[in-house]
């Protein structure tokens, strides 16, 4: 059951616009909880375990993957929703679904496929996530996709960060002139809070960034010294983990306060008012936003553009370009079930769906099968 004390502007399952296909259900789970369960059990979600966050899967078992990142977003998002009295089930469903359309090799894969698909509609991972839940998953009798609630699908396609935002025409069926629910807006910042802080953890572990560099960032430095004062004599590794934990807490606390202040200031009392606001209402305070931007710029310059990350990016480009080109020139190399989709979706889009759904290691293994004559097919 949904919590009885939901805020008046929260999304309510009882007011959902429903599913595209009517279904007889075997139990009375709330609709957004059912959406979450369907996402967890779908094939695309399982494949996230072997898709790049920053480090490619074979580089080490310690580093985050798209799956662990999605779980961390869900934990952060659900905590925010609880404090704002919003719909936790919808937030969790959106957290777990927001990267379903991600390619192998992270944003590099997305950029490569978008370039290769220029003449065939392009590629954007939010649109691909929606395509996964509406078309590509084949689990239920009578329809394709997962048949999720309208609000869940809207939140997927309207996900917006520095690295991804769907084209306007892709949102056409989901009230493009309106803002999404507050639950969907939470995901944008929960995603950012998760990847910023956990990328620091992975970057330090890999040795690609150092504590001396992080000490130049005001948000990190303030939190580091706060932890040092709270736990005198703490060892280095625990100090790092506690700083990251405290930093996540600082960002969540600020987001909740800033969002509550904004809702009160704007006099928001209904979901309809949320949707008609000219800007998003879930936000950080100006002070913390500026400090967080400093952290994001640092990660972009020092971690995401580190020469070892760049080396893997170039390799990933070569792998994906080769796979796409080989499949396009020799479509009989594709599994029969992919070839069977050509009449419905077109050859290039079917190839794109297939490549986008690959894990890092499957893509690398497939590349080897194409280029090593002694490798078994």
What's the pLDDT at 127? 96
How confident is the chain (377 residues) per 10-residue block, as mean pLDDT? 89 95 92 98 96 73 88 98 98 98 94 97 96 96 95 95 60 91 97 95 94 97 97 96 97 98 97 95 97 96 93 95 98 97 97 97 94 72
pLDDT on residue 19: 96
pLDDT, residue 279, reads: 92
What is the pLDDT, as a whole number, of residue 285? 98
Question: Strands (DSSP E) along 5-44, which ranges?
Answer: none
**pLDDT score for 62:** 78
What pLDDT, on the 0 to 100 scale, is given for residue 223? 97
CATH classification number, 13-309, choose in 3.40.50.10140, 1.10.760.10, 3.30.470.30, 1.10.3210.10: 1.10.3210.10
d(CA 299, CA 198): 11
pLDDT at 139: 92
Instruction: Give 3-state DSSP helix, strand, coil % of the chain, rounded to 5.
Output: 65, 0, 35
Within the chain, which residue ranges are assigned CATH 1.10.3210.10? 13-309
* pLDDT in the model for residue 186: 98
pLDDT at residue 118 in the model: 97
Spatial separation of the C-alpha atoms in residues 297 and 220, rounded to whole Å: 13
pTM of the model: 0.94
Cα dihedral across residues 307, 308, 311, 317: positive or negative: negative
pLDDT (0 to 100) of residue 29: 92
Residue 360: partners with Cβ closer than 8 Å, 6 or more residues away? 50, 51, 52, 56, 57, 58, 104, 105
């Amino acid at each position: 059951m949904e919590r009885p004390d939901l805020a008046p502007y929260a999304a309510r399952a009882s007011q959902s616009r429903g599913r595209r296909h009517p279904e007889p259900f075997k139990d009375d789970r709330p609709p957004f909880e059912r959406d979450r369960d369907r996402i967890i059990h779908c094939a695309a979600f399982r494949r996230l375990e072997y898709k790049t966050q920053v480090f490619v899967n074979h580089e080490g078992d310690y580093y985050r993957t798209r799956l662990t990142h999605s779980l961390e977003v869900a934990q952060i998002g659900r905590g925010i929703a609880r404090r704002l009295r919003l719909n936790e089930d919808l937030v969790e469903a959106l957290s777990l679904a927001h990267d379903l359309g991600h390619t192998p090799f992270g944003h590099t894969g997305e950029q490569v496929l978008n370039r290769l698909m220029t003449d065939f509609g392009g590629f954007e991972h939010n649109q691909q996530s929606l395509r996964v839940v509406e078309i590509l998953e084949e689990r239920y009798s009578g329809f394709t996709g997962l048949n999720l609630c309208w609000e869940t699908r809207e939140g997927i396609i309207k996900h917006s960060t520095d690295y991804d935002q769907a084209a306007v025409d892709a949102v056409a069926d989901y009230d493009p002139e309106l803002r999404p629910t507050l639950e969907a807006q939470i995901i944008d910042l929960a995603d950012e809070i998760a990847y910023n802080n956990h990328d620091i953890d992975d970057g330090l572990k890999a040795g690609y960034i150092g504590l001396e560099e992080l000490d130049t960032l005001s948000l990190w430095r303030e939190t580091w010294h706060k932890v040092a004062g709270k736990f005198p004599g703490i060892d280095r590794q625990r100090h790092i983990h506690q700083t990251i934990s405290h930093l996540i807490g600082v960002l969540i606390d600020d987001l909740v306060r800033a969002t509550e202040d904004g809702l009160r200031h704007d006099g928001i009392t209904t979901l309809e008012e949320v949707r008609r606001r000219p800007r998003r209402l879930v936000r950080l305070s100006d002070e913390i936003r500026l400090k967080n931007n400093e952290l994001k710029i640092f990660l972009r310059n020092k971690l995401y553009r580190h020469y070892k990350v760049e080396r893997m990016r170039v390799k990933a480009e070569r792998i994906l370009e080769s796979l796409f080109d080989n499949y396009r020139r020799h479509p009989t190399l594709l599994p029969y079930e992919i070839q069977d989709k050509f009449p419905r979706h077109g050859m290039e889009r079917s190839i794109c769906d297939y490549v986008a759904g690959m894990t890092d290691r499957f893509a690398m293994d497939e590349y080897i099968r194409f280029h090593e004559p002694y490798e078994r097919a």
